[in-house]
């Protein structure tokens, strides 16, 4: 794994990256590098401890919990506990470890935990930016393919007369989650970037509906 992608914390990355495992291409090292890019951009404008953020980025998905697992909502708590163990082994102070763990625990959408530090807000924003925009679209359909989901429910693709089910229909994930994310960003910089990426996924969603939906349904 190329630790140089996490400059200026290449040494930290070289120690933590080999510990990572899992086969989910939506939460792999390329995801970590994109989140790190987002986090650095936000931190440049908002401040915060960049070393703490580097550790949090590198470890925020260190426990692989499949989307279909009943433990999915616990994934960030499990990752936070694992991060504590790994940073303790590296000799980090308890105070700094707790800050990293807090950021990891609150980054997850499904966990519903509000971030309480600036670093936690930045990690949450940086991670959620990777779920919207062009990359977010790609990740959505990649994950749907891994789960064996259909593209959409043909008789009611918008979910007007049924409950949304993004486990079975990829397009349902847009109104169920992705189109809601831009409302919850914590930092000024994150909100600005999210607004642009939100328009990308909104345009894609409406454009996809236009290609197969009955014109009467769109009225």
- Peptide linkage before 5 cis (omega within 30 of 0): no
Domain harbouring 178, CATH code: 1.20.58.1910
Does 1 lie in the same domain as 91? Answer: yes
- Convert the pLDDT of each residue in 2-19 to its tens digit: 668 999 999 999 999 876
- Convert the pLDDT of each residue in 80-100 to its tens digit: 999 999 999 999 999 999 999
Do residues 24 and 12 make contact, with C-beta atoms less than 8 angstroms apart? no
Residue 123 inside a domain? The answer is no
Where a domain ends, among 61, 87, 113?
A: 113
Do residues 104 and 126 make contact, with C-beta atoms less than 8 angstroms apart? no
Does 155 lie in the same domain as 93? Answer: no
Q: What is the largest CA-CA distance in the chain?
A: 63
Does 136 lie in the same domain as 107? Answer: no
Compute the distance between CA of residue 8 and CA of residue 67 in angstroms, rounded to an integer: 32
Residues with Cβ within 8 Å of residue 30, at least 6 apart in sequence: none
Where a domain ends, among 78, 113, 148?
A: 113
Q: What are the E-state strand segments in the chain?
A: none
Does 157 lie in the same domain as 102? Answer: no
Where a domain ends, among 55, 85, 113?
A: 113
Residue 38 inside a domain? The answer is yes
Residue 126 inside a domain? The answer is no
DSSP category for residue 3: G
DSSP category for residue 150: B
Does 13 lie in the same domain as 78? Answer: yes
Element (H, E) at 145: helix 133-147
Q: What is the pLDDT of residue 88?
A: 97
- Total domains, the chain: 2
Buried b (16+ CB within 10 A) or exposed e, 89-116: eeebeeeebebbbbbbbbbbeebebebe
Mean pLDDT of the residues in the chain: 92
Does 136 lie in the same domain as 106? Answer: no
Does 82 lie in the same domain as 189? Answer: no
- Convert the pLDDT of each residue in 152-167 to its tens digit: 999 999 999 999 999 9
Does 27 lie in the same domain as 67? Answer: yes
- Convert the pLDDT of each residue in 194-216 to its tens digit: 999 999 999 999 999 999 987 76
Domain of residue 161 covers: 131-219
Q: Which of 159, 44, 173, 59 is nearest to 109 (CA)?
A: 173
Does 108 lie in the same domain as 138? Answer: no
Bridge partners of 169, per DSSP, are: 150
DSSP category for residue 113: P
């Amino acid at each position: 794994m190329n630790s140089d992608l996490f400059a200026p914390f290449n040494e930290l990355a070289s120690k933590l990256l080999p510990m990572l495992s899992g086969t989910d291409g939506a939460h792999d090292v390329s995801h970590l590098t994109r989140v790190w890019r987002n986090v650095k951009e936000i931190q440049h404008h908002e401040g915060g401890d960049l070393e703490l953020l580097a550790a949090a980025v590198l470890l925020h998905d260190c426990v692989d919990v499949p989307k279909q697992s009943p433990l999915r909502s616990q994934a960030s708590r499990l990752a936070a506990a694992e991060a504590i163990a790994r940073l303790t082994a590296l000799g980090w102070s308890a105070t700094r470890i707790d800050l990293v763990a807090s950021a990891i625990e609150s980054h997850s959408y499904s966990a519903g935990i509000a971030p309480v530090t600036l670093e936690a807000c930045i990690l949450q924003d940086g991670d959620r930016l990777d779920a919207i925009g062009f990359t977010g679209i790609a990740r959505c359909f990649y994950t749907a393919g891994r789960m064996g989901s259909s593209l959409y429910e043909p008789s009611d693709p918008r979910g007007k007369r049924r409950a949304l089910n993004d486990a079975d229909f990829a397009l349902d994930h847009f109104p169920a989650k992705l189109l809601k994310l831009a409302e919850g960003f914590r930092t000024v910089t994150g909100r600005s970037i999210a607004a642009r990426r939100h328009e990308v996924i909104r345009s894609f969603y409406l454009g996809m509906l236009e290609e197969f939906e009955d014109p009467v349904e769109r009225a």
